[in-house]
């Protein structure tokens, strides 16, 4: 019989493979638990947190667009959630406090950032597209490394300005000027939801990129967003967000179950078979 209940809150959630991943690990480690999609509106966050407090729910992940909006409902922020003010993992601690943590930073550090050697990062000008829920994790993870310069651009300028208040070392590029700025960039990171399965795509052409540009898309569903396909054709080195997704889930699983699930090829193949 299922004893513990977990899930992911957000909207939309149809793209999420979190249930596949966590339920795979529950089965593998003989844990009587279930993980489900909990698609909610903003006003339902309070109810979800109440369920965690009552132990009706044992923990939730948080995704688009609630990584910041959950914070006022929590008792405590810890670790990287405190640094980023972005929460993707919630649980109840032994003192009965509802705690928000962030495993996206760990996910980024163990996937994309690991793939680029430190010397290259040192000399890189990096443009982050998007100033939403995941952007602070990207900035914070990069700031632990030495990078030449971090720029950020967001459709809604105010959100980029707000993020700069917390990370003053970044510079803002206006959304309308991305195309012009791109030619100087060594790394571009898509931290917007543009390209997500069933959603909108970039209007920008991404012309005049450096030939050795590295493009990283935090999206993993689809495996190749339109922009990745376009850039790949031009020989740009691209990565999607699948590895980051797996690593952030690994750390969430550890926080909830005190088991560090093994990452194996079977798991990755299992996920890839579900993606487009």
Alpha-helix residue ranges (DSSP H) falling in 29-177: 45-53, 79-84, 104-110, 112-115, 118-122, 135-143, 157-166
Contact (Cβ atoms closer than 8 angstroms) between residue 148 and residue 171:
no
User: Which token pair is 271?
Assistant: 């996920």
State yes or no: residue 155 binds ligand ATR (CB under 6 A).
yes
Pairing of strands 98-101, 89-92: antiparallel
Residue number, 59 or 241, with CB nearest to ligand ATR:
241
195-224 mask for ligand ATR (x: CB under 6 A)?
-----x------------------------
54 CB contacts (<8 Å, ≥6 apart)? Answer: none
- Among 7, 132, 136, 195, the residue binding ligand ATR under the rule CB under 6 A is 132
Range in contact with ligand ATR (rule: CB under 6 A) among 27-35, 53-61, 130-138, 254-262: 130-138
Contact (Cβ atoms closer than 8 angstroms) between residue 176 and residue 157:
no
Residue number, 14 or 156, with CB nearest to ligand ATR:
156
- Among 61, 110, 193, 238, the residue binding ligand ATR under the rule CB under 6 A is 193
CA 248, CA 181: separation in Å to the nearest integer? 31
Nearest-approach distance from CB 104 to ligand ATR, in angstroms: 9
Which position among 27, 67, 114, 115 bears the catalytic label?
67
Q: Residue for token digits 């980023």? A: 84
User: DSSP states of 165-207 as a string?
Assistant: HHSTT-EE--GGGHHHHGGG-SEEEE-SSTT-TTS--------
Query: What 3-state DSSP class applies to 243?
Result: helix
67 as an active site residue: the answer is yes
Nearest-approach distance from CB 101 to ligand ATR, in angstroms: 16
62-101 mask for ligand ATR (x: CB under 6 A)?
--xx-x----------------------------------
State yes or no: residue 15 binds ligand ATR (CB under 6 A).
no
State yes or no: residue 192 binds ligand ATR (CB under 6 A).
yes
Active site residues: 67
Interface residues with ligand ATR (CB under 6 A) are 64-65, 67, 130-135, 154-156, 159, 191-194, 200
């Amino acid at each position: 019989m299922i004893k513990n209940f977990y899930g992911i809150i957000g909207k939309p959630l149809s793209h999420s493979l979190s249930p596949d991943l966590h339920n795979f690990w529950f089965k593998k480690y003989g844990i009587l638990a279930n993980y489900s999609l909990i698609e909610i509106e903003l006003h339902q966050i309070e109810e979800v947190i109440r369920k965690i407090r009552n132990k009706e729910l044992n923990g939730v992940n948080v995704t688009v667009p609630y990584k910041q909006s959950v914070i006022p409902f929590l008792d405590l922020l810890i670790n990287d959630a405190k640094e980023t003010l972005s929460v993707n993992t919630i649980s109840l601690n032994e003192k009965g406090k509802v705690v928000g943590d962030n495993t996206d930073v760990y996910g980024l550090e163990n996937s994309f950032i690991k793939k680029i050697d430190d010397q290259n990062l040192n000399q890189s000008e990096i443009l982050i597209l998007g100033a939403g829920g995941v952007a602070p994790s990207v900035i914070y993870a990069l700031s632990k490394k030495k990078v030449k310069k971090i720029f950020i651009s967001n459709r809604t300028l105010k959100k980029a300005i707000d993020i700069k208040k917390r990370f003053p070392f970044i510079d803002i590029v206006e959304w309308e000027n991305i195309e012009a700025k791109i030619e100087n960039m060594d790394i571009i990171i898509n931290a917007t939801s543009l390209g997500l399965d069933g959603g909108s795509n970039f209007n920008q052409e991404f012309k005049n990129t450096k030939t050795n540009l590295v493009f990283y898309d935090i999206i993993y569903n689809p495996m190749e967003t339109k922009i990745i396909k376009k850039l790949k054709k031009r020989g740009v080195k691209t990565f999607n967000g699948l590895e980051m997704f797996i690593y952030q889930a690994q750390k969430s699983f550890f926080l909830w179950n005190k088991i560090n699930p093994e990452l194996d090829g079977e798991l990755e193949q299992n996920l890839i078979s579900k993606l487009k």
